[in-house]
């Protein structure tokens, strides 16, 4: 049995054995500015659960609408994608508990066992042929996304996992992805993405979202 968190519910401090909806926490596998990710189990199967860091119950109505819009955007971006090199979304919901009024959005996704792209490159030391194959597969994933007018906006090594079983890449973490058809809720003069992965076009305030994905994709093999 897990020890209760003395601070109350904290999305970055969910202990092994605790429940989120129908899913039992196995362990934390990562956290960042957009959320925390856990391995969870349901009916003997493992999934990845990504939970946001904003308690929607603590926001004013306008702020809550904005955060719910961000969450719906990520769900819409992932749900419309069906590609072997893009993570598959299995469901979504908001946390709820009789013991807490907190409400955090979370996504349930397939669990990808693998390493971030640069870690895989250093550890696996792939041949040029295999490296080119991996990047061709990533290119196919981006092409599918762009065909559906969905742009990741934070493509970098940490958001590409290479499967342990077959050396195939999977694009993950669509926390700031934006379907072109949705109304933007990004605040004026705010920035998105990871600075060292920005394209020159983004830095110069150009509007081509496809180039924003393409430039870090091209630069990733040389990054350390």
Contact 75, 89 (CB under 8 A): yes
Would you give the DSSP letter of residue 157?
G
Q: How far is CA 163 from CA 57, 82, 117, 129, in A?
A: 37, 17, 10, 17
pLDDT-derived band at 48, boundaries 50, 70, 90: very high
CB atoms within 10 A of CB 70: 19
**Does the pLDDT of residue 94 top 60, yes or no?**
yes
Regarding the domain delimited by 19-110, which CATH topology (the fold level of the hierarchy) does it fall under? Answer: Phosphorylase Kinase; domain 1 (3.30.200)
Residues contacting residue 15 through CB under 8 Å, at least 6 positions apart? 2, 3, 5, 25
Whether the model clears a pTM of 0.75, i.e. scores above it, the answer is no
In angstroms, how far apart are the furthest CA atoms of the chain? 55
Give the tens place of pLDDT for each residue, 159-201: 899 999 999 999 987 654 455 555 444 433 334 444 444 455 4
Equal fold, 19-110 vs 114-222:
no
Return the pLDDT at 185.
42
Query: Does residue 218 register a pLDDT over 70?
Result: no
125 is in an annotated binding site: no
Collapsing DSSP to helix, strand or coil, 27 comes out as: strand
**pLDDT score at 154:** 77
Q: β-pairing, 23-31 with 19-20?
A: antiparallel
Contact 196, 155 (CB under 8 A): no
Phi/psi for 168 (5° steps) reads: -105, 140
- Average predicted confidence (pLDDT) for the chain: 78
CATH code, 114-222? 1.10.510.10
State pLDDT tens for residues 108-128.
999 999 999 999 999 999 999
Domain ranges of the chain: 19-110, 114-222
* Token digits of residue 162: 């290479």
**What percent of the chain lies above the pLDDT cut of 90?**
42
pLDDT the model gives residue 169: 97
Which of the residues are catalytic?
Answer: 154
């Amino acid at each position: 049995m897990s020890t209760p968190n003395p601070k109350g519910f904290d999305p970055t401090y969910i202990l092994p054995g605790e429940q989120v909806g129908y899913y039992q926490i196995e362990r934390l596998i990562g956290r960042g500015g957009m959320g925390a990710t856990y391995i969870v189990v349901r009916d003997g199967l493992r999934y990845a659960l990504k939970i946001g860091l904003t308690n929607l119950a603590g926001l004013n109505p306008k702020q809550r609408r904005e955060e719910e819009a961000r969450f719906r955007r990520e769900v819409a971006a992932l749900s419309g994608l069906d590609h072997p090199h893009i993570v598959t979304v299995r469901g979504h919901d908001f946390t709820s508990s009789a013991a807490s009024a907190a409400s955090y959005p979370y996504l349930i996704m397939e669990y990808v066992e693998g390493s971030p792209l640069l870690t895989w490159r250093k550890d696996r030391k792939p041949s040029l042929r295999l490296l080119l194959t991996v990047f061709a597969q990533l290119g196919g994933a981006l092409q599918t996304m762009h065909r559906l007018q969905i742009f990741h906006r934070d493509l970098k090594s940490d958001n590409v996992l290479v499967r342990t079983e077959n050396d195939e890449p999977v694009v993950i973490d669509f926390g700031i992805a934006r379907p072109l058809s949705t109304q933007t809720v990004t605040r004026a003069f705010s920035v998105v993405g990871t600075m060292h992965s920005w394209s020159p076009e983004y830095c110069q305030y150009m509007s081509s979202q496809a180039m924003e994905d393409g430039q870090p994709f091209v630069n990733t093999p040389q990054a350390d």
